[in-house]
Amino acid sequence: MKRAIIFLFVIIGLQANCQVINDINLSSGISISKIDWNILDNNLYNKAILGYSTSFAVGYLEHNHWEINSKIGFYQIGGKEKMEYSDVSGNKYGSTTTRFYFNYFNFNTTFKVKYRINKFEPYLCIGPRIDWLASSTVSYKSPGPDSGSDFKDFNYGLDCKGGVLFFADDRFFLSGNIGYSMSFMDISDYVKPKGNIIIEMGLGYKLKK
């Protein structure tokens, strides 16, 4: 019952603001990232890693070929390290790959340029981003850095994204995009982000034609 009431209020709120809000879009996909982790001249977790990404975006203040987009989302960045084991004679007998993830909630507002061609609408977006570090996780416990290290709670940067919408009808559309997220701050004194590529697919709905 509570969920039904909340859903009803959301619908009423969206309808009340439909003169401002143009569309909504829910997307999910992957992130491809690298980090530079230096401790005592050792470069750790320096291999690219796949993470998860999801976002909810709202478009508003629409004009013929541009609009403003605001997004709240979640994504992961990090790196992986292969650890090899050997006996006292130096013979290798196994290995383990350790993955370290930084899990961020992010908020951005971008300027979107678009051009409608029949049922397709290619677009480009650029704008500032703020990140909040929700947690950090390591896939395998081993000697070395752990998830209790001193990482900064917030970061900020710039998002650039290009994609295309496919309109199934006047209201519903499918979306696909690829973007690059650049960070202007380090994660800590010894951990630096090296860029993050995000690829997402989504489903959207136009609140006004």
CATH number, domain of 132, equals 2.40.160.20
Residue 18 located in a structural domain? no
pLDDT at 6 over 50: no
Span 151-171, pLDDT tens digits: 899 999 999 999 999 999 989
Put residue 144 in one of left, alpha, beta given phi > 0 → left and psi -120 to 50 → alpha: left
Q: How many domains does the chain have?
A: 1
CA distances from 207 to 77, 106, 110, 168, 203 (A): 33, 24, 19, 15, 13
Residue 21's pLDDT is: 86
The answer to whether residue 38 sits within a structural domain is yes
Whether 7 is covered by a domain: the verdict is no
Confidence of residue 149 (pLDDT cuts 50, 70, 90): low
| Beta-bridge partner residues of 53 | 29, 75
Question: Against a cut of 0.95, is the pTM above it?
Answer: no
Tell me the one-letter amino acid at 118.
N
Residue 158 lies in a domain: yes
Domain of residue 93 covers 23-206
Does 10 fall in a domain?
no
CA distance 127 to 132: 17
Report CA 145 to chain centroid distance, whole Å.
Answer: 24
Does some domain include residue 37? yes
Using one digit for the tens of pLDDT, what is the confidence trace for 117-133? 999 999 999 999 999 99
Is 115 among the domain residues?
A: yes
When comparing pLDDT for 51 and 1, which is higher? 51
Chain centroid to CA 131: 10
pLDDT score for 88: 65
Contact 62, 24 (CB under 8 A): no
Within a domain: 166: yes
The pLDDT mean for the chain works out to: 84
